[in-house]
Every structure is written in C-alpha cells, then in structure tokens.
Amino acid sequence: MKLHHIGIVVNNIQESMGELKRYLNFETTSATFPVGSQKVNICFLKIGEPFLELIEPSSPDSAISEFAKSGGGIHHLCFEVKDIQSELESLLEKGATILVNPVKGFDERRIAFVDLNTKNTKCGLVELLETR
C-alpha cells in the first residue's frame, strides 16, 4: 500500500490553482477531467510525492457538494493497492465500513472509498486506487 494522493475539495479548480500558485511551486500533471461515477471533476498537482488532487463537484447532487459549499478542505487520503478486493476485505475485518464499492475512477482504474471509523483522527476517509 502506497500513499498516492491527498484529495482536497474545492468549489472551483481553476480558482484554487491560482491561489495555490501564489504559495507553492507545482506542476499540473493532468488537465481537469470528469469522474462520472463520483459526479466530480479532478486535477492532479505534483509538488513531490504524493500528489495533491483538487476535486470540485460537477453536479449539485455530488456527494461533495455540501462540503465544497462550506469551504471544502482536505477530504481523503488515497492509497494505491495491487488488489482492491483483498484490501477491502482486510479493512472490513479490522472494522472499516465500505462507503463506495469498487467503481471505475480516473485513468480507467478501479477506486473504492472506505471509512476507517477512527475516533482520534479526523481523516478516516480513505480511497483505494487499484494499480494498473
């Protein structure tokens, strides 16, 4: 398991990139593109490893719409895994809750979202990204 990116919810990707460029030197590694299964648009920024992923809702009924309206912020950690199904089973055995079963995500790769049900940390939302 390897940390691939940190997902940050924003209202507008282009405006957010403009703000970040004032403070950070980064390379835009992808154009903004849709992820239909999640009703979002995303863009990856490379500062080092891991990537930063900017995520904006593409529809009012996107799962992140309310979060974006309230100002957004860090949303999830994404870990790249070889076998998404076996990782999900392992996390379930440890008490995690699957929020989104494997679906087609970006780059034609399968993704899933899991709540780690942590009590002492605020970043219990994890995305799993299957390697190619």
The predicted pLDDT at position 121 comes to 79
Contacts of 110 (CB under 8 A, 6+ apart): 84, 102, 103, 104, 129, 130
pLDDT (0 to 100) of residue 65? 96
- Number of domains present in the structure of the chain: 1
Mean pLDDT of 121-131: 89
The chain-wide mean pLDDT, for the chain, equals 93
- Per-residue confidence (pLDDT) for residue 28, from 0 to 100: 75
pLDDT tens digit sequence for 19-50: 998 998 888 777 899 999 999 999 999 988 89
Band of residue 73 on the pLDDT scale cut at 50, 70, 90: very high
pLDDT tens-digit series, residues 104-114: 998 899 999 99
CATH of the domain at 126: 3.10.180.10
Closest CA to 66 of 57, 75, 58, 74: 57
Question: For residue 124, is pLDDT > 90?
Answer: no
Domain residues for the domain of 22 are 2-130
Whether 21 and 92 have beta carbons less than 8 Å apart is answered as no
pLDDT, residue 83, reads: 97
Q: Per-residue pLDDT for 96 more than 80?
A: yes
